[in-house]
Amino acid sequence: MKPVPSPRSALGALLASAVALSALGLPGAVVGEPPSGPTPQEPSFRELRARPPARVRIEGARFRMGSDDDAVARALETCLLSPPTQGRCATELFTDEKPEHEVYLAPYAIDRLEVSNQAYLRCVSAGACAPSGTGETDPRIGRPEHPVTSVSWSEAQQYCHWVLGRLPTEAQWERAARGDSVRTFPWGMAWNTRLANHGGSGDTENDVDGYRFAAPVDAFADGRSFYGLQNMAGNAWELVADRYAAYDVRASRVEPEGPATGAERVIRGGSWRSAPQSLRVTARARLPETERRPDVGFRCAYAQPSATRPASGPAAKP
pLDDT of residue 81: 82
Mean pLDDT of the region 125-148: 94
* pLDDT, the chain, mean: 83
Confidence of residue 89 (pLDDT cuts 50, 70, 90): confident
Mean pLDDT of the region 130-151: 94
Confidence of residue 194 (pLDDT cuts 50, 70, 90): very high
For a pLDDT cut of 70, what percent of the chain falls above it? 77
Q: Which of 1-10, 84-93, 120-129, 152-161 has the lowest mean pLDDT?
A: 1-10
Based on its alpha-carbon atoms, the radius of gyration of the chain, rounded to whole angstroms, reads 21
Higher pLDDT, 178 or 315: 178
Confidence of residue 40 (pLDDT cuts 50, 70, 90): very low
SS3 assignment, position 246:
coil
Which residues lie across from 131 on neighbouring strands? Answer: none
pLDDT of residue 249: 81
The answer to whether residue 176 scores a pLDDT higher than 60 is yes
Confidence of residue 150 (pLDDT cuts 50, 70, 90): very high
Task: Determine the Cα–Cα distance for residues 197 and 265; give it in Å rounded to an integer.
Answer: 23
Strands (E), 9-48: 30-31
pLDDT of residue 49: 47
The answer to whether residue 97 scores a pLDDT higher than 60 is yes
Contact between 229 and 300 under an 8 Å Cβ cutoff? The reply is: no
Mean pLDDT of the region 220-229: 96
Global pTM? 0.80
Which pairing describes strands 296-297 and 237-243: parallel, antiparallel, or unpaired? parallel
The answer to whether residue 2 scores a pLDDT higher than 60 is no
Tens of pLDDT along 232-259?
999 999 999 999 999 998 888 999 999 9
For a pLDDT cut of 90, what percent of the chain falls above it? 68
Superfamily of domain 55-303: paralog of FGE (formylglycine-generating enzyme) (3.90.1580.10)
Task: Determine the Cα–Cα distance for residues 98 and 68; give it in Å rounded to an integer.
Answer: 6
Confidence of residue 306 (pLDDT cuts 50, 70, 90): low
Neighbouring C-alpha atoms within 13 Å toward the C-beta of 97: 29
The answer to whether residue 33 scores a pLDDT higher than 70 is no
Contact between 159 and 177 under an 8 Å Cβ cutoff? The reply is: no
Mean pLDDT of the region 97-126: 96
The answer to whether residue 51 scores a pLDDT higher than 90 is no
Q: Is the peptide bond before 147 cis (omega within 30 degrees of 0)?
A: no
pLDDT of residue 26: 38
